[in-house]
Amino acid sequence: MFYRESGDFKKTYKLDSQTFPIKFDRWRYYFVMLVAFIVVPMFLTDYSANAVMIPFLVWAIAALGLNILVGYCGQLSLGTGGFMAVGAYSTYKLMTSFPGMDMISVIMLSGLVTAVVGAFFGLPSLRIKGFYLAVVTLAAQFFLVWLLNKVPWFYNYSASGQISAPQRELFGIVVTGPHATPVAAYLFCLIFAVGLAWIARNLTRGRMGRSWMAIRDMDIAAEIIGVNPLMAKLSAFAVSSFFIGVSGALLFSVYLGAAEVTEAFSINVSFAVLFMVIIGGLGSIFGSFIGAAFMVLMPVLLKNILVGGLGWPTDLAAHFELIIVGGLILVFLIVEPHGLAQMARVLKEKLRLWPFPH
């Protein structure tokens, strides 16, 4: 019914390798883009932008980045918080040192700085595997946060140790600082989220993505067909950190507006992003988005139901959130290690045949 595939033949390899080979999917994709760019901004309120949409986009970018490293290249990292902090502080330094620089360049450069830092901490990955590597990335997490907290140059010697984003415009529209409208902030994040998702898709479907997956699935076999393990792992670390850096930059400059490194980028951030990736689906770009949506929406819903609806104290709701997140991680790992994205895929397979499954 929905997935009408008969008669939809692919006559060239180019058509065969497109992202949405099925016509229905393609139209749905255009529809989602239309809604995201035109319909959502029309109905965006302060609350829905700040509680749901903007954090969703920012975390989705971080999840995309971590998914490239964990899901595609198979290297577990617990340093996400530290790398996001690098992105945030780079943005702060660039914004305050070069007030004339446009925000797109600022964010992209912050991503590049993070990519360099990430690649540096990825160096041990050649010799260290599995959760040994996870502990090394913990070193990155704690060391980077300590460094950004201890060296006053990074926060321009401000007395509070906080960084706060000055007002900046893009094409004459305010996108950062207290006077930015929710719509402007949302669209600014959306451009990055869509652009980076597109890049992630391109990288993962080509030569580089295959080298990452080869390292993930069987590193020895990857090596004998010419994949240099160090280059594959380092490029995964660099690309992943670039995404995470951009996410940290947006989190600080557009969403939070002000941040203190030990609070905003703690180890809990690393775990939260890892959970998004697991719940959404390891090795799936779509999964990164639904994972982020899930982790953003769930606390909001819980708070609305338990605190708003039942009148429970907030700390109790927060404890329930821990239980639910932890429980869901277990359930997903036991039932469906490939997360929500895999469930969606299975559903789609069924829909393709529906209503005549035989």
Partner 1 sequence: MSADFLYLVEVILNGLMAGVMYSLVALGFVLIFKASGIFNYAQGVMALFAALTLVGIQTGQVPFAHLINAIFGTNVHHFGWQVPTVLAIALTVGVMVLFAILVERYVLHHLVNQEPIILFMATIGLAYFMEGFGDIMWGSDIKTLDVGLPSGGSRWLEDYTLGWAAEGERYYGMYLDKLDMVASLVAIVLVVSLTIFSQYTKTGRALRAVADDHQAALSVGISLRTIWVIVWAIAGFVALVAGIMWGAKSGVQFSLSLIALKALPVLMLGGFTSIPGAIIGGLIIGVGEKVFEYSIGPLIGGATENWFAYVLALMFLVFRPQGLFGEKIIERV
Partner 2 sequence: MTEPLQKMEAASKLLELKNIDLSFGGVKAISNISFDVMEGEVRAIIGPNGAGKSSMLNVINGFYHPQQGEIWFDGKQRHSMKPYQIAYQGIARTFQNIALFKGMSVLDNIMTGRFTHMHKNMLWQALWKGPAEQEEIVNREFVEGIIDFLEIQAIRKTPVGRLPYGLQKRVELGRALAAQPKMLLLDEPMAGMNVEEKEDMCRFILDVNDTFGTTIVLIEHDMGVVMDIADRVVVLDYGRKIGDGTPDVVRNDQTVIDAYLGVSH
84 counts as binding partner 2 under rule CB under 8 A: no
Which of residues 33 and 218 has its CB atom nearest to partner 1 in the complex? 218
Residue 352 CA: distances (Å) to CA of 5, 30, 181, 260? 8, 20, 42, 49
Sequence-ordered list of residues with C-beta below 8 angstroms from that of 271, at least 6 positions apart, any chain: 78
Exactly one of 208, 269, 290, 295 binds partner 2 (CB under 8 A); which one? 208
CA distances from 106 to 87, 89, 122 (A): 10, 11, 24
Do the Cβ atoms of 320 and 306 come closer than 8 Å?
yes
From residue 208 to residue 247, the character string flagging contacts with partner 1 as x (rule: CB under 8 A) and all else as - is ------------x---------------------------
Other Cβ atoms closer than 10 A to 273: 30
- CA–CA separation, 283 vs 73, rounded Å? 9
The amino acid present at 239, given as its one-letter code, is V
# chain residues binding partner 1, by CB under 8 A: 46
Using alpha carbons only, what angle is made at residue 227 by residues 127 and 74, rounded to the nearest 5 degrees? 55
- The piece of 101-109, 161-169, 185-193, 323-331 that touches partner 1 (CB under 8 A) is 323-331
Q: How far is the CB of 206 from partner 2 (least distance, A)?
A: 5
Q: Which of partner 2, partner 1, none lies near 342, with the C-beta cut-off 5 to 8 A by kind?
A: none
Question: If binding is defined by CB under 8 A, does position 213 make contact with partner 2?
Answer: yes
> Which two structure tokens, joined as six digits, stand for 107?
């964010």
What the block records as the tokens of 187 is 């669209």
* Binder of partner 2 out of 152, 166, 206, 337 (CB under 8 A): 206
Binding to partner 1 (CB under 8 A): which residues in 55-84?
74, 76
Q: Which stretch binds partner 1 (CB under 8 A): 12-20, 94-102, 134-142, 228-236?
A: 134-142
- By rule CB under 8 A, what string of x and - marks binding of each residue 254-293 to partner 2? -----------------------------x----------
25 binds partner 2 (CB under 8 A): no
User: Per CB under 8 A, does 319 bind partner 1?
Assistant: yes
Q: Are the C-beta atoms of 200 and 56 separated by less than 8 Å?
A: no
In the complex, least distance from residue 221 CB atom to partner 2, rounded to whole angstroms: 4
Interface residue with partner 1, options 330, 346, 347, 353 (CB under 8 A): 330
Q: Tell me the backbone φ, ψ of residue 355, rounded to 5 degrees.
A: -95, 15
Measured CA to CA, the distance from residue 191 to residue 199 in angstroms comes to 12
Q: Does 210 bind partner 2 (CB under 8 A)?
A: yes
Q: How far is the CB of 32 from partner 2 (least distance, A)?
A: 20
CA atoms of 89 and 329, how far apart (whole Å): 31
For residue 59, give the nearest of 195, 301, 246 by alpha carbon.
Answer: 246
Q: Is 5 in the site for partner 2 (CB under 8 A)?
A: no
Helical packing angle, 130-150 and 80-97, nearest 10°: 30
Radius of gyration over every alpha carbon of the chain, rounded to an integer in angstroms: 21
* C-beta atoms surrounding 239 within 10 Å: 27
Q: Exactly one of 269, 274, 290, 296 binds partner 1 (CB under 8 A); which one?
A: 274
* Number of residues binding to partner 2, judged by CB under 8 A: 31
CA atoms within 13 Å, Cβ hemisphere of 126: 12
Name the one range near partner 2 by CB under 8 A: 106-114, 215-223, 284-292, 312-320.
Answer: 215-223
Q: Which is nearer to partner 2, 229 or 299 (CB)?
A: 229
CB atoms within 10 A of CB 26: 13
Between 17 and 314, whose beta carbon lies closer to partner 2? 17
Positions in the binding site for partner 1 (CB under 8 A): 74, 76, 124, 127-128, 130-132, 134-136, 138-139, 142-143, 145-146, 150-151, 220, 267, 271, 274-275, 278, 310-313, 315-316, 319-330, 333-334, 337
